[in-house]
Structure 1
Amino acid sequence: MPAIPLRRSRLTGALLLALALPLSAQSPEPEIPAEEAAAETAEADPGLDAAPEASVEPSAPVAATDPVLLDAEILPRASRSLLLDVVRTNAGFFAVGERGHVLVSEDGQAWTQAKVPTRATLTTIATADGVLWAAGHDGVIVHSTDGGQTWTRRRAAPWSYDLVDPSEGVPVMDLLFTDARNGFAIGAYSLMLVTSDGGVTWTPRSVLGGAADDAPAEPEPASDEVAEADDWTFSDDDLMLDAESDPHLNAMARAGSGALVIAGERGTFMRSRDGGETWESKRLPYEGSMFGVLTWEDDHILVFGLRGNVLESRDLGDTWTEVETGITTSLMGGHALPGGGAVLVGANGAILTRPDADTPFTATAYEMGTGETPLLSGVLPVDDAAYLVIGDKGADLYRPK
């Protein structure tokens, strides 16, 4: 059996955890030309300055049928398709997912599909000062300056076998904007992109300033005898998850103190106290991957992920407390409530809620009318009596009993 490249294998794993489509379905697309981006931006929002040049130069010919170049298809059952993230603005709820779907709803029940210039899977959506951004596979980033009525593609960096640049094809996993002009995009292989012009241009930034101060030691290389042995039995040492030199970055948030935090693959945790200019790499006490991070006042943060693991810190990650959840299924999405309250969602319809920071989580399960308990990837409060939940079966309302 031919060997699978480690880098491509890790990326596939990250995409599966993000409920995304296989990389083989993706194909190359260039960044839009700088002059076109400037013209579109000036028309959509005269307050945003035109960028002097494009974020990514075209690196290979692009087929006219490339899915990232094509507009998302308007489908009658899009609201029942795979959805991965959701936000709320004054215009309503916006959910994103597979095939470039962007769905809009005023009440979380009736949904319409927006026209979006990509069919790439969208994994994340963010908003600030009335502007919307969404991002996902092939490094695609789209945005809207008119409340989600029209969307423009601002970046794409697809991968193909003709290219050797390891950053090609890297998906964006999360977006964070501090205002309408300044934002971050993070993703696989420690991808970080920064914009200061409202998403017109994106500049790579390194977050790997050095090894974590408490990172585990590198494993000893295998002996020739072990390497050559035709034995598929793995020891406990073989199965240990070592720290990656370029971990996938899954979630980013801003604490009440203004500090920025990132949670990621294999116990990765990073923080910045200077607006993202420099980053300090730490290790979580749990060595598995974390998929989300919530923040409250001061330096109060909570991370959640694999096997129902939840960790909480009130000093921006200097010390951590393990939070009992009562479940072992992975948690994929969450929302912070006032006073340290939270709602978390995940596999098998899992929903965890707590009204404040001093109350334990209560676990329940969301069940569809068909009896299915879908994998949930996002949640938002609709009112005092209901939550909007999204996942691999689309969007629905959940009313706790």
Structure 2
Amino acid sequence: MPRLTTPSVSIVLALVFGASLASAEDKASLAPLAADPLARPTEVMPLADGTLVLDIARAGNRIVAVGERGHILYSDDGTAWTQAADVPLRSTLTAVAAIDGNIWAVGHDGVILHSANSGESWEIQRRDPRGQPAEGVDPDDIRQGAPLLDVLFTDLNHGIAIGAYSLLLETSDGGKHWSGGRIPTSASDAAADAEVAAESVDEQAAHASNDMQSSVFSADELKIGQESDPHLNAIARTESGGYVIVGERGAIFRSQDGGKLWERSQLPYDGSMFGIVGYEGQHVLAFGLRGHVFESNDLGVTWSERPTGSELSLMGGVPLANGGAIIVGANGIVLHRARDSEPLTTSTNTAAGVIAGVLPLDSDGTLLIASENGLSRFQPK
């Protein structure tokens, strides 16, 4: 999902006022830090579990959460949280994935971090800040410096990270080496992409236009064409081994060969999808802008819309057994269904604000919420 935030103003102010009081010798030593303050180790803060948290994941018996300023927190019960002190940067972290005690976190500046001890200490596997390209990255590539928005590992060796401007990176050695660039599609798919026009008026424009705009703009003028390099917001894998990526303006990419080649298609809605979860077979559930939820049983070849009764954007979600799901988003919305034959029901966790991630916590239905106001428990009605 696009979970883009700006660096903390407090960090900038600290650098400015700290440098103003330093000696000439100190200023010289501070120059590299002032040039790239996000390269400094994260700051341990006593209330970090109450700040912006963008994703959570299970790592064996542990839960790990990531968010702004390079904050990484872990807990063994979902109640008491410890902030990892050994995090080597302050870039905003947008997503996290785990295979037992091995954990990967991705974020702004093309960052990929890895922990081999259940989140207690971290190392940088990749960093690609604007103007300081990572090894093998063309400094003129539009993807140089782009944020990573999601990450998925299928085992200890194989992982995929995705992000802005169709950025896709892969590893086959646990992240020691990451390769890739633009998501690889076949030549025939690329030609088809160029031929496909947005055949319907973008729903956002339609809602905003009303009578006044319709008297000024024609329907053709309100059409929004497809992006050649759409942002890739979320990735899921089904039990069949197929992958589906959802992105900007209804863009869908799917792969049935382990991610070597991707086929592009389009949702029956031109708005962005911010999340997707995978189930058995080729069953996936995608969600995003203006409360839209779409479901597919053929790895995204065909889609059916699932009513939500809301126009609040949906940002994160997790699959449940039997095709069930929990989906969360703006204004504290929490959608839930126990199985795929049931409709989505709505609860609201107002105190959370915008919710970015969720995990089932207890057998009584209690959820762990990751939001703009930090980590909290919530039990939907």
TM-score, normalising length: structure 1: 0.79
* 1:178 alignment partner in structure 2: 154
More divergent stretch after superposition (196-205 vs 175-184)? 196-205
Q: Quick check: 1:378 aligned with 2:357?
A: yes
Give me the whole-angstrom Cα distance separating, in 2, the residues matched to 1:203 and 1:171. 16
Equivalent runs, 1:205-354 vs 2, <5 Å: 205=181, 206-209=183-186, 210-211=189-190, 213=192, 216-217=196-197, 234-354=217-337
2: CA distance between counterparts of 1:328 and 1:278?
34
Mapping of 1:93-104 within 5 angstroms? 93-104=63-74
Map of 2:101 onto structure 1: 130
Partner of 1:18: 3
1:337-362 Cα distance to aligned partner (Å, 9 max, x none): 00000000000000000000000000
2 CA distance for matches of 1:183 and 1:106? Answer: 25
Say if 1:161 and 1:185 are closer, same or farther in 2 by CA, change over 3 A.
Answer: closer
Q: Is 1:63 matched up with 2:39?
A: no
CA offsets 1:308-361 (integer angstroms, 9 cap, x no match)? 000001111121110001110000000000000000000000000000000000
More helix by share: 2
2:178 to 193, 202, 209: 202
Check whether the contact 1:212–1:281 (CA below 8 A) recurs between aligned residues. no
- Residues 283/22 of structure 1: CA separation in 2 closer, same or farther (3 Å cut): farther
In the other structure, the counterpart of 1:38 is none
**Residue 79 of structure 1, CA deviation:** 0.6
Q: Which runs of 4+ in 1 moved over 6 A?
A: 22-27
Aligned residue identity for 1:165:
D
Deviation, 1:208, is 3.5
Partner of 1:108: 78
Which residue, out of 76, 79, 88, partners 1:117? 88
Query: What are the Cα deviations for residues 90-139 of structure 1, in whole angstroms up to 9, with x where unaligned?
Result: 24211100000001112222111002111000000001243100010000
In structure 2, what is the Cα distance between the partners aligned to 1:21 and 1:237? 35
Paired position in structure 1 for 2:142 = 166
Do residues 187 (structure 1) and 163 (structure 2) align? Answer: yes
CA-to-aligned-CA distance 1:228-280 (integer Å, 9 cap, x gap): xxxxx654433322110001000011111011110100111111111001111
CA distance in 1 between partners of 2:324 and 2:374 (Å): 25
The answer to whether residue 374 in structure 2 is matched with residue 394 in structure 1 is yes
Judged with a 3 Å threshold, the aligned counterparts in structure 2 of structure 1 residues 235 and 75 are, in CA distance, closer, same or farther, namely farther
Partner of 1:367: 350
- Alpha-carbon distance in structure 1 between the residues aligned to 2:198 and 2:77: 51
Separation of aligned partners in 2, 1:134 and 1:346: 21
SS in 1 for 2:249: helix
Deviates more, 1:237-246 or 1:331-340: 237-246
Deviations 1:131-175 (A, max 9, x none): 100010000110001111210011111113995332221000000
State the match for 1:5 in structure 2: none
Counterpart code for 1:88? R
Is the CA contact 2:60–2:100 (under 8 Å) kept in the aligned structure 1? no
Pair 80,67 (structure 1): closer, same or farther in 2 beyond 3 Å: same
CA distance in 2, matches of 1:259, 1:25: 43
Deviation sequence 1:37-79 (CA, Å, 0-9, x none): xxxxxxxxxxxxxxxxxxxxxxxxx933423321110011111
Partners of 1:178 and 1:160 lie apart in 2 by: 32
Instruction: Give the Cα–Cα distance (whole angstroms) in 1 for the partners of residues 289 and 251 of structure 2.
Output: 13
Q: Distance in 2 between matches of 1:126 and 1:94?
A: 9
Cα 1:355–1:69 change in 2 (3 A) is: same
SS state of the match for residue 338, structure 1? Answer: coil
Structure 1 unaligned runs (5+)?
1-13, 28-61, 220-232
Give how far 1:24 is off.
Answer: 11
Distance 1:248 1:348 in 2: 24
The aligned counterpart of 2:111 is 140
Secondary structure, aligned partner of 2:151: strand
For 1:129 and 1:81, locate their aligned partners in 2 and report how far apart those are by CA, in whole Å: 26
**C-alpha distance after superposition, 1:9-61 (max 9, x if no partner):** xxxxx8xx41422699999xxxxxxxxxxxxxxxxxxxxxxxxxxxxxxxxxx
